[in-house]
Amino acid sequence: MNVKTIRQDFPILRTGIIYFDNAASSLTPEPVLEKMMEFYHEYRANVERGVHRLSQKAGEEYANARSKVADLIHVKPEEVIMTKNTTEGINTVASGLAWQKGDRVVVTNIEHHSNLIVWLRLKKRYGVDVEVVRANSEGIFDVADFERAIDDRTKLVTVTHASNVLGAITPVAEIAAIAHERDALMLVDGAQSVPHIPLDVREIGCDFLAFSGHKMCGPTGIGVLYMREDLLDEVEPLCIGGGTIKDVGLDYYQLAQGPHRFEAGTPPIAEAIGLGAAVDYLQGIGMDAIRAHEARLIMKMYNEMVAIPKVTVYGPEPQRRVGILSFNIEGLNPHEVALALDVTAKIMIRSGAHCTLPLMKDVIRHPAGTVRASTYLYNTGEEVDKFLEGISELSASLT
């Protein structure tokens, strides 16, 4: 993996910034932007709306993007639904299943708000019971807790694959097996895993998987919901209209089959094509290589951060996490740390609650939030050194 060559595809890095905000949104390489501009320059037309050559070409490229995503996560193309982001995918599942009072949803206390408040709304609307499985202080779960929490009334188990704060990797395959033993469905929030680690839906055994394009070198406004093929006709779409129907009369309608029933109206065509190009880009480098590169960076970052005075690092050992490291410096607000690193060293990191207030209150017990550094394929060991130097200087300034 030639990081120096990879970095040439990201012109913004030539400005001297160090971008460690990848858990929020990754940078987008030139090949992805060029593929999107190809659509606008050469075959700008709507998909599935015409027989002329431009529409046919646009439709072909849109379908190709779906197939590329399917190949990345090892599923059938017809199981790939294009959404605008992870949140829309999760909401599609939440709104589309037939809920009854007394049904149970099992979630965890480390979830992003998008994989928590939708289920709390079901509780409010339909009387659905929401059971919370709690992680330890490092974000690690005891699988036996899921054995106890998932029962015959459980309709859905929904967990993050990797915490967007602690980086901790959840044993989703083991949890899915428990869920299926109780005839419950399994939804995985893959926003922080799909961009960073090799992932095979067949090995996980989940029924739904949601993730976003903008965290994996793709554009904003495009995401994916994997839905197991036999569930496509059982889940009610979040939105219906043009493109979702098989037949319509003045007093009836019949929805199309497959992923099209979930993709109402004109889709984000350029963004979907860009997502396909992002998958090509990542596949060309290799997900195993990306995972190994990030593991080296986060190992270095973690091992040196825990030795810096006044710094508290949250989450598990590096071997049990993706490339995310959250921390605090005693005596400084998280936003003060992030601003100082930007001003003094042009280092971009995230600060605050990271859309995980229950995690901050229940696990980290630091309501003000944390500072979060997150790595990706274009980051280097030298950048990690500069980041560590900046943290050391901030810590020393407080003595």
Nearest to 382 by CA among 323, 301, 313, 314: 301
DSSP string for residues in 216-238: TTS-SS-EEEEE-GGGTTTSPPS
Whether 355 is a known active-site residue: answer: yes
Of the listed 206, 217, 239, 355, which one is catalytic? 355
Tokens of 179: 């869920």
Identity at 123, one-letter amino acid code = K
Q: Which two tokens stand for residue 54?
A: 């431009």
CA 365 → CA 112, 140, 236, 314, 353, distances in Å?
Answer: 16, 16, 38, 11, 11
Given a contact cutoff of 8 angstroms between Cβ atoms, the answer to whether 173 and 165 are in contact is no
Q: Which two tokens stand for residue 112?
A: 């992003």
d(CA 387, CA 301): 9
Which residue type sits at 255?
A: L
State the distance between the two ends of the chain, measured CA to CA, in whole angstroms.
41
Amino acid at position 341, single letter: L
> H-helix or E-strand containing 279?
helix 269-285
Residue (of 353, 375, 381) closest to 366 by Cα position = 353
Active site residues: 355
